[in-house]
A and B are shown apart, each in its own frame.
Chain A
Amino acid sequence: GDSVTQMEGPVTLSEEAFLTINCTYTATGYPSLFWYVQYPGEGLQLLLKATKADDKGSNKGFEATYRKETTSFHLEKGSVQVSDSAVYFCALSGGGYNKLIFGAGTRLAVHP
């Protein structure tokens, strides 16, 4: 079945460092891809999305490009802040199943 694999965390960075969180997927057809963020004590919020190959989603300085050839949707940010500390989930949807399929989540901790 369809699935999402994320790099394991936690990821610990200093402020202003470059961030990459890897995400790869397995899917039949052409899914939509999402990154959700979960700040401490809160629910999940949509961070960015891409709906077709080569689309780039971006928001709050984060970017991810839908790469069909490598089945990847890696999350990047050029300069992280302490306020970016959260858990990040890669997810996909589509293909006729009635749910989002999530990766295991990657915890990011950013220190001053």
Chain B
Amino acid sequence: EAQVTQNPRYLITVTGKKLTVTCSQNMNHEYMSWYRQDPGLGLRQIYYSMNVEVTDKGDVPEGYKVSRKEKRNFPLILESPSPNQTSLYFCASSFKEPGFNTEAFFGQGTRLTVV
């Protein structure tokens, strides 16, 4: 089954404790990205990757890191989480960058709470 898998689904952590949210896709997609979803703001892009070893900042990259060492995996790293990073996070993938007629596939989301 074609899917994007995120882990964990839920996470409560304390300020400053490094964490990683994993994302894996089995569709051989080149393009992957991370979004955060906050009430009234929709989804905002954090980082994206056009291919292995190619990453770039989205609209809200501060406080986050990513890596793309393999095509299927795109982990999101919070080196020193802060309460304003409490949010619902989604990983997405597609064959190429969003554009004409490109469908994005989303993971189930990770609800992160930083206390």
Contacts and interface: CB of A to CB of B under 8 A. Distances in A.
Contacts of B37: 105
A102 B108 contact: no
Interface footprint category on A: 20 to 34
Interface string A30-59: 001000100001111110010100000000
B77 interface: no
Interface footprint category on B: 20 to 34
A36 B4 CA distance: 16
Interface in A63-105: 89, 93-94, 96, 98-100, 102-105
A49 B31 CA distance: 19
Contact of A32 (B50, B97, B101, B107): B101
Interface of B: 4, 31, 33, 35, 37, 40-45, 48, 50, 56, 58-59, 90, 92, 97-104, 106-109
